[in-house]
Structure 1
Amino acid sequence: MKIDVKHIQKRGKAGWRYRRKIPEELRTVLGKREHLVPLGATEQEALRKYPRVHAEAEKLLADAIKCANGPTPTEWGHFRDGIAAARKMGFRQDRDFPSLDEIEHDTDWQARMKAVEKIVSKYVPDFDSVEDDDDDDDLPIPNFHPTEADTALARALLLNPNGTPVPTLEDAKRLYLKERVGDDETKQMELERVFKLVMEALGKDRKLASIKREDAKEVRDHMLDGRKASSVDRYLNVVRAVINHAIREFDLAGATNPFMNLEAAPKDRAEPDKDKRRPFTLDEVATITARIAYHAKTDLQHIWTILNGTGCRLAEVSGLRVSDVNVDHAIPHITVEWHDDRRIKNKVSRRNVPLIGDALGAAKEAVKAAGKATMLFPAYGRPRGPASASAALGKHVRACVTDPKATTHSLRHLMKDRLRLAGVTKSDQDIVLGHSSGSVGEDYGGDEVRLAVAARALEKALA
């Protein structure tokens, strides 16, 4: 018998699962592209679990739609918006309350009071203007429920007699989203995903000043449930950055960040960085290259060949524009730099990388295939494009090499080893690979000379 219900999928020996694509406009809110829930190994178990799982998915999407339509302002948000609205009317906060003797002659305060009366009149009717015919039922019913915006404006006009509200974690996240993340969809999704875990661990939004070290440990432990320590360390870095930014921008004098120096695993038990990935062997590269040449699409073949011949990061190649490829230069090369469709890792990653041998041939063919397109690889020169390219190439890598420490990025590790074995100096290796040497001198020197140095280094490595 076949299950004929929506969003359900049979996965061979893995059993059944609920799989539902997230609408594109909600992906940033939910921090993922799909909603996946295991339903069990048998058809009967899947049918039994389906109603509950489907209902949960419906609620998840409904809540996301509410968030997409605009997050509900926080207490701090209303406070800030009230001050901004008062400022637009010409009233500032940098003044003192007038004394009783000064009120009558304080023109600024009198103007504030008139503005407040105007706000109040929207909710409390002017009974003097209502004709009284002794029938109380005809009198207008006052609305004593002003909007949050009007309440915040009135409080700002009266110099916020209740004081300044304390910013919360949600305020910190929104500020960071606005001032540091901006329109970067990938970072938006990561921020939402990380803070969803934070809120799950803490149970609710919390005032920044109330979060203690023990709370931070609760967040870490919750994140560690089913996740690698390396991933949790990355998540904790995001939380640290958000709170540090909030402490500075909210002027929280004396506040400390309880997430500082909090690690997912002690350093003596953490996996060394050099052991997380390993370089390919030359035989492995030859095997994978042969498979890609036979099974992969042409653009993936070109990407793989350029990666193998340059040691670039995958995102640096998949996000190239046609204008970044300079095959007619005295030293053919690609230019890796920041643009609207691709971010680079850091400042030193911005560089020119020579094209030699097969990499040059692949670049020429890619330019010809791109035609009048802006991006060299249109299928991957987009947000999340590097992830798609990584997944596509990863399938071919895994078909040839089962070691999980060998990935597409292992080509970059191999190039590092090739440069070392060729006797290329550390500083010249850094020029090729876009690594920081930590030296002030790395910012000096002309682009042409650095390109020539990189070409000489790659020729030695690939000889």
Structure 2
Amino acid sequence: MQIDLPYVQQPSGKKHYRYRRKVPKFLMEALGKTEIVKPLGSTHTEVLRNYDRVHKEAEAEIKAAMRGKPVPVEKTALEKYQWATRHVAALGPMSDAAADALADHLEETGQAELYRALVVPGRKPEPTLADAVKLYLKEKVEGTADETKKRQRVERVQGHVRKALGRGDPQIRSLTKADAREVRDHMLADKDMAPATVHRYLNDLRAILNHASGEMDEVRGWLSPFNGLEVKKETLAKEDRKPFTEGQLKAARARVLGHASTDLQRIWRMLEQTGCRLAEVTGLMVDDVHLEGELPYLDLKFHPHRRLKNAGSVRRVPLVGDAFKAAQEAREAAGDRALLFPTYAREGGSTATSQVLMKHVRKVVIDPKVTVHSLRHTLKDKLVRTDATEAVQNIILGHSSGAVSEAYGGPEARLEVATRALRRALGV
């Protein structure tokens, strides 16, 4: 049976169906996204059962955006309690008779939250996963360069927890080690979800719950059962990206340099000989590129438009060989602009860059585990083969927390050590 409903898609090679609807351009800013994508299920029965609800939700989002209003978000029990408590407190002192009369009125008119806040003010609801998610989004995600992407990922994680446990919005303190394993195993059982994705989602969940434990008085000091829970290493290893072989790298480089835009060619050349992450290069400011002196380098630091992965990612990366030439060309082409690659220094810019570069790579490399990110693995292998210590590798690649690099003293000493190791690895 073929499903013929508006906006219903089955991604190529996948078993599940989804509701995918483009957002009109004039509403994209209001909604904060370019399309509405919602899961519908893996069978025809699930699609038919979920379609009306999902379609109505999408319609509500579109209508709310057209009215210039934010999409309504349901309040949690704790938020309702906090609102009602503030509202009752604002009424000020009242006699017992007045309080009784108000309680009767609230009960008769169905204002349950206000009634409970007045009659049993000490019955405070336990914070739930939704409370933890909202706090995390407010304090860790709002205002970041890739806010939309992070919000969507957090919402997906929250959805997986609810589906795995089957009890709506679980209280934070009610979560057990058995629940944590149930969530992990539920995601691993999804054939459309790679183990590496499950690993990332568990990291997101740990971050959400640990932030709540540190910031919410109601659960302060609580230990999350997701801490220490990992996907088996042998399972994750199957998902690892491979480095390029010598032949693959030669073919991919020739393809990119022969067909991609000038900016993308320069980005590729810098990735290949610095080991930087893609977002680290696409988000560079012109002032981050230091070409003068005997030790030219990229000064990687936090920017409002581009966050770095961790403390170890803040570093100086040597520019040698063709990466130096590419950076020099890019800085000259930038002129008076602040951004080195303005087309790609935006939210989602690194993803767009990866997609275009991958189209070129796939023209000459068919192995699905060889990707643009494999350039980092390739450079790491070269560093290993030329006996660079792990600490020096971390200085160049930004894998560490920053502590190991202290063994080499100040930034100038670390740059000098890293430059020697990179030149030896690249043979320049």
Q: Distance in 2 between matches of 1:357 and 1:306?
A: 10
Q: Distance in 2 between matches of 1:394 and 1:353?
A: 24
* SS at structure 2 position matched to 1:20: strand
CA separation of 1:405 and 1:26: change in aligned 2, threshold 3 A: farther
1:327 Cα deviation from its structure 2 partner = 2.4
* Structure 2 contact 358–371 (Cα < 8 Å) conserved: yes
Q: Distance in 1 between matches of 2:76 and 2:47?
A: 36
Q: Distance in 2 between matches of 1:20 and 1:205?
A: 27
Q: Distance in 1 between matches of 2:31 and 2:185?
A: 26
Q: Which residue of 2 aligns with 1:331?
A: 295
Q: 1:414 aligns with which of 364, 378, 397?
A: 378
Q: Which residue of 2 aligns with 1:286?
A: 250
Match for 2:411: what amino acid? Answer: D
* SS at structure 2 position matched to 1:353: strand
Q: Which residue of 2 aligns with 1:73?
A: 75
* Structure 2 contact 85–121 (Cα < 8 Å) conserved: no
Q: Say whether 1:171 aligns with 2:131.
A: yes
Q: Which residue of 1 aligns with 2:237?
A: 272
CA separation of 1:211 and 1:298: change in aligned 2, threshold 3 A: same
1:114 Cα deviation from its structure 2 partner = 6.8
Q: Say whether 1:233 aligns with 2:193.
A: no
* SS at structure 2 position matched to 1:334: strand
Q: Distance in 2 between matches of 1:344 and 1:68?
A: 30
Which structure 1 residue ranges, 5 or more long, are not aligned? 92-110, 126-141
* SS at structure 2 position matched to 1:112: coil
RMSD: 4.3
Identity %: 40
Match for 2:80: what amino acid? Answer: H
* Structure 1 contact 123–145 (Cα < 8 Å) conserved: no
Q: Which residue of 2 aligns with 1:183?
A: 143
Q: Which residue of 1 aligns with 2:425?
A: 461
* SS at structure 1 position matched to 2:204: helix
Q: Which residue of 2 aligns with 1:20?
A: 21
Q: Distance in 1 between matches of 2:301 and 2:155?
A: 27
TM-score relative to the length of structure 2: 0.79
Q: 2:345 aligns with which of 381, 387, 391?
A: 381
Which structure 2 residue ranges, 5 or more long, are not aligned? none
Q: Distance in 1 between matches of 2:412 and 2:19?
A: 55
1:214 Cα deviation from its structure 2 partner = 4.2
* SS at structure 1 position matched to 2:406: helix
Provide Cα deviations, 1:32-80, integer angstroms capped at 9, x if missing partner: 765688999xxxx9xxx99999756522413556794342222211223
Mapping of 1:419-458 within 5 angstroms? 419-436=383-400, 439=403, 442=406, 445-458=409-422
1:309 Cα deviation from its structure 2 partner = 1.6
* Structure 1 contact 307–317 (Cα < 8 Å) conserved: yes
CA separation of 1:348 and 1:116: change in aligned 2, threshold 3 A: farther
Q: Which moved more, 1:320-329 or 1:343-352?
A: 320-329
Mapping of 1:96-175 within 5 angstroms? 112-113=93-94, 144-146=109-111, 148=113, 155=118, 161-175=121-135
Q: Say whether 1:62 aligns with 2:59.
A: yes
* SS at structure 2 position matched to 1:300: helix
CA separation of 1:278 and 1:9: change in aligned 2, threshold 3 A: closer
* Structure 2 contact 9–19 (Cα < 8 Å) conserved: yes
* Structure 1 contact 292–396 (Cα < 8 Å) conserved: yes
Q: Distance in 1 between matches of 2:51 and 2:260?
A: 37
1:170 Cα deviation from its structure 2 partner = 1.2
Q: Which moved more, 1:60-69 or 1:171-180?
A: 60-69
Q: Distance in 2 between matches of 1:428 and 1:440?
A: 9
CA separation of 1:7 and 1:216: change in aligned 2, threshold 3 A: same
* SS at structure 2 position matched to 1:352: strand
Q: Which residue of 2 aligns with 1:318?
A: 282
CA separation of 1:164 and 1:395: change in aligned 2, threshold 3 A: same
CA separation of 1:211 and 1:28: change in aligned 2, threshold 3 A: farther
Match for 1:229: what amino acid? Answer: P
* SS at structure 2 position matched to 1:276: coil
Q: Distance in 1 between matches of 2:221 and 2:101?
A: 39
Provide Cα deviations, 1:292-338, integer angstroms capped at 9, x if missing partner: 12221111111000111211111111111122112234432211111
* Alignment coverage as a number of residue pairs: 409
1:371 Cα deviation from its structure 2 partner = 3.5
TM-score relative to the length of structure 1: 0.73
Mapping of 1:196-275 within 5 angstroms? 196-203=159-166, 204-224=168-188, 225-226=190-191, 227-248=193-214, 249-252=216-219, 257-264=224-231, 266-267=232-233, 269-272=234-237
* SS at structure 2 position matched to 1:270: helix
CA separation of 1:349 and 1:279: change in aligned 2, threshold 3 A: same
Q: Distance in 2 between matches of 1:370 and 1:383?
A: 20
Q: Which residue of 2 aligns with 1:192?
A: 155
Q: Distance in 2 between matches of 1:401 and 1:311?
A: 20
Q: Distance in 2 between matches of 1:259 and 1:38?
A: 27
* SS at structure 2 position matched to 1:113: coil
Match for 1:398: what amino acid? Answer: R
Provide Cα deviations, 1:108-151, integer angstroms capped at 9, x if missing partner: xxx522799599779969xxxxxxxxxxxxxxxx9835585x65
1:459 Cα deviation from its structure 2 partner = 1.7
Q: Which moved more, 1:78-87 or 1:288-297?
A: 78-87
Q: Distance in 2 between matches of 1:449 and 1:344?
A: 22
Provide Cα deviations, 1:388-433, integer angstroms capped at 9, x if missing partner: 1111111112221111221111111111122223333333222222
